[in-house]
Amino acid sequence: MKLCVVGAGAIGGWTAAWMARAGHEVSLVARGAHLEALRRDGLTLVSRGERSHHALPASEDPADFAVQDAVFLCLKTPSIAAMLPRLAPLVGPDTVVVPAINGLPWWYFHGAGGRWDGAAIECLDPQRGMFAALDPRHIVGCVVHGAAEVTAPAVVTHTAGKRFILGEPGGGRSERALRLAGAMAQAGFDAPVTGEIRVEIWTKLVGNLSYNPVAALTLAWMHEINANERLLALIRAMIEEAMRVAEAYGVRVPVSVDERIAIAKKIGNSKISMHQDVERGRPLEVEAIIGSVAELARKAGIATPMIDAVHALIAERARHPQA
């Protein structure tokens, strides 16, 4: 496949390296010191103690590359709205766009059916500009269960997991999703195609919306949070609230609270993404990860006192990136 990874950071760099290793034609969109290092030294991936080097074309401008078979959108959510209009040179009639991102995606209600079909999540896309910038018919949903970190410019360390769950927003197992999954499996990923991508989104999200802000506020690593019973009590309360919100929108998370925490414990000694962002002074994915759930809770009349409290704290923390 011919594919472009937009946002060649932790998840994007790991994705690009494995896909290139499997023989796919990969290009990268990045910026700043990371881009300079990619051009000078190529991409280095450290995975399972092994280092691999990949000389791949890289640019700050997507227009430097032609139409792709697939575009992996691996940006932090605050950067997505500005990037979507710039993807046009990459997207042809049959191009698949895969937002491999955290939190509730802006396209969540596209193809959902029922009362909310096609609705926007206001805190993510208040003017529906994201829907206007990219026809959502190109989107194949993606939920990533894996961890990686940019440890130096153009150097990515893959620390855990390899599961990328794919699914059409409208359900079913399409030919294009199956083709992409096959290419990813060839590259070493565990890439199943589900007919219920929203179930997978919520199953991951109920953990992310609790663990990520707690990690960002405390600077604790995953294993440290899981060893602290007082923090785990907060995590449990937030997960329970989020599961009630999911059910109000027709999704039942297929694991218990303790089972979801057990999934998080398998990640081991990892530095959670929002913790990484705080340390680097980067914008935090507050609205996608927790604010969007608080918004949906209000619309559905679901009480979420713990989510609301932590949302207030992490939103204020995000206003002080250098503190």
Q: Which of 162, 204, 265, 271 is catalytic?
A: 204
Residues 91 and 71: beta-carbon distance below 8 Å? yes
Residue 243 structure tokens: 């599961």
* Distance in angstroms (rounded) separating the CA atoms of residues 224 and 193: 33
* Distance in angstroms (rounded) separating the CA atoms of residues 133 and 141: 17
The yes-or-no answer on residue 76 being catalytic is: no
Q: Which residues have CB under 8 Å from 119's CB, separation 6+?
A: 109
Q: Between β-strands 2-6 and 25-29, what pairing exists: parallel, antiparallel or unpaired?
A: parallel
Q: What is the dihedral of CA 85, 90, 96, 97, to 10 degrees?
A: -40
User: What is the residue type of 67?
Assistant: V
Q: For residue 211, which phi and psi values (nearest 5 degrees)?
A: -65, -40
Q: Which residues are catalytic?
A: 204
